Structure 1
């Protein structure tokens, strides 16, 4: 099937400390097939391409 499949989201992880909210340095990927991260602020949606052919542009 040649349809893009929703794969998951990525974004920053936040956690509450005694000094306030702290964020991760790098974005984390959270696939829909696995448990999600608590405290994630998703900023990107990821799709998986299946059955496609990569071609060079002229």
Structure 2
């Protein structure tokens, strides 16, 4: 998602028409990557705290 935006396309002009779309896209990319990282850490912690047997899905991926 980050590689879709060229560095030259982002200017300092805050009122350019196309620039806010690029900044919005980068913001969405950062949010998606942070949420996926937080979810994976949360699932890892949840899996270590549950005292039941091994999951049916262990090793499927």
Please give the TM-score of this superposition, normalised by the length of structure 2: 0.21
Higher strand share: 1
Please give the TM-score of this superposition, normalised by the length of structure 1: 0.21
Structure (1 or 2) with the larger CA radius of gyration: 2
Greater length-normalized contact order (CA 8 Å, ≥ 6 residues apart):
1
